[in-house]
Each structure stands twice: as C-alpha cells, then as structure tokens.
Amino acid sequence: MSFLGSGPYCYVNSLAMVLGDDSPPPSVIEVLTGSPFGMHFGANGLPYFDPVGWDPDLGLDAALDLLGWAGERTSGGSAGEALERLRAANRGGPVMVGPVDIGLLTHQPWSVGVATGTDHWLVVLEADDDTVVLHDPDGFPYATLPTAQFLAAWRADAVECGGPYALRTGFRRVREVPLTTALRESIPHAVRWLGADSTAVGRLADVIEKGIDDKFRDHLVYFAVRLGARRLADAAYWLADIVPGAAAILQRQAQLLGAIQFPLVRRDDRAAADGLRRLAPTYEQVGAALAGGR
C-alpha cells in the first residue's frame, strides 16, 4: 500500500501547489526527480538518501520535463532587486521560491533563528516592503514573515544548491504526457543515478558503528532516514506496474531503511549499522532490475 502522511517533501509539495488542479500527486513528482535512486555524503559530511551529484533543483527540472511542463527559473541580484522580481511574479499568482535557509524561517516554532545551510522550498502568495505571506509545506498555510527576515532566508548564503533569491514561475504545459509514460521515461535516468556510487551506504554503516555525535544523529533521525524511506516507498508504489521486480526491491529497501529509525533513536548503533549493511547491496540489485526493465 502507499504511505500517506506529512514529511519533508517541500519542493514537490510546493511545485504541486503552484501547478494547481493539473498537478500530479507530489509522491510521483518525487519519484520523477530521481531522488530515491542513491545515497551520498554531502559536502558538510552528512549523509543523504539521494544520489551523488543530485540536488532538488536538478530534480525539479527533470520532473517538469518528464511531465511535459515548462517554466522560468530566475535567481541572483540584490535583495531589493529580488523583492521587486518576486512582487512582479506574484501579479501572475503564487510563486515557488527556493532554496531558502530553513534556520531563518522563524514562523516555525522549532527554528533556531540562524542560518543552518538546510534548504527548503515554499510558495509565496504576497510580498510587500513589510510582510511576506506564504504557504510553507512543512505545515504552515498563510504564514507570514517580516520581509527583511524572509529575504535573509531567501539569500540562502549557507545552502549548497540553488543560489540566492531563486524562484520559479510561468508554469505551463507544453505537451500531454501520461504518468505511465513519464515514469517509463524516467527509468534510464534512475539507472544512471544508481550507477554513480554503490558504496556510500556501507561507509555510513561504518561511521555509525564507530560513533556519531548528536548533530549527525539528529540529522538522521529527524530528516534523512524518514525522507529516504518515504522516497523508496513511493518509488516502489509508482513503479509497481511498470517494473515489478525493481519495485519489489525498492519496497524492501524502504523497509530496511525505515527499520533503522528506532535503533538510531535508542542509540543502538550496532543494530542500525547492521540494517544499513543489509541495505547496501540492494542498490546494485535495483539498478540491474531497472536496467533490465523487469
């Protein structure tokens, strides 16, 4: 069965909001971005359950193209120029904005109020010199932020991808693409992502078994594991009728990754490492199954 629930799908939820009634489900957009097909260590040394070389901006471009949609992405300039660009775009409707630095989004009660380098995407509804009104897919509809504070988050100085003051607008369908066609056409991309690095999961098991600090653990238990498991579960669901053998492996991956959440929270790091070592060889297996179309 398909998993339903809230979670850190910020960029695909934001895209679905701006595409409106014509949008496919966020879960299938996530699969089309290519995010479920790999695992890597970021430049910050933290693990992410998405492919090496992948980032949400690349993934959004890929998903839009596979779905037959186009749009404009702009970024850069000064804060004042960015605000004017945003206000002009808002005259055409809601605007997808990101990355922003989630640490500076202080409408979120858990925000630390300082830049953390953690990327986030959202939808801006209105913006003037004083206040920005936004839909934050972390669960905050019609949230507001002082404009100066929003601009600081939007500058995204510490975020690894995307650049400052990036937004997407002008979405339009350029060709009709059935979801099954989009999914079939995404498979070669998935195979390429899986071929980039097949050893990172094993390295993560070694790192955990040797001992991790609280920052590393919090990243895993609050973000990386639940996001990675959901991505894999969604890939298994959407590919089940297209490549059933590969989908079965993806489902097993989701189960193996999701199962390490409890031992990580309970600090049973040997059990978590053992689970990751069972997960590690499945990436090569799912790549072979996808490449073989089975």
pLDDT tens digits, one per residue of 69-111: 999 999 999 999 999 999 999 999 999 999 999 999 999 998 8
CA atoms of 284 and 221, how far apart (whole Å): 25
| Cα-trace Rg, the chain | 19
What would you measure as the largest C-alpha separation in the chain, in angstroms? Answer: 56
What is the dihedral sign for C-alpha 114, 149, 136, 49? negative
For the stretch 198-212, pLDDT in tens is 689 999 999 999 999
Q: Which domains does the chain have, with CATH numbers?
A: 10-68+175-291 (no CATH), 71-173 (3.90.70)
State phi, psi for 65 to the nearest 5 degrees. -65, -45
- The rounded mean pLDDT for the chain is 94
Task: Read off the pLDDT band of 41 (50, 70, 90).
Answer: very high
Q: What gap in Å lies between CA 86 and CA 256, rounded to an integer?
A: 43
Give the least confident one: 6-15, 34-43, 88-97, 209-218: 6-15
Q: In this predicted model, what pLDDT tens digit does every residue of 107-133 receive, in sequence order?
A: 999 888 999 888 999 999 999 999 999
Unique residue bearing structure tokens 């957009």: 29
- Of the chain, the percentage scoring pLDDT greater than 90 comes to 90
- Tokens 């339009």, residue? 172
Q: Which token pair is 110?
A: 């858990």
271 token code pair? 């059990």
For 89, the 3-state DSSP assignment is helix
pTM: 0.94
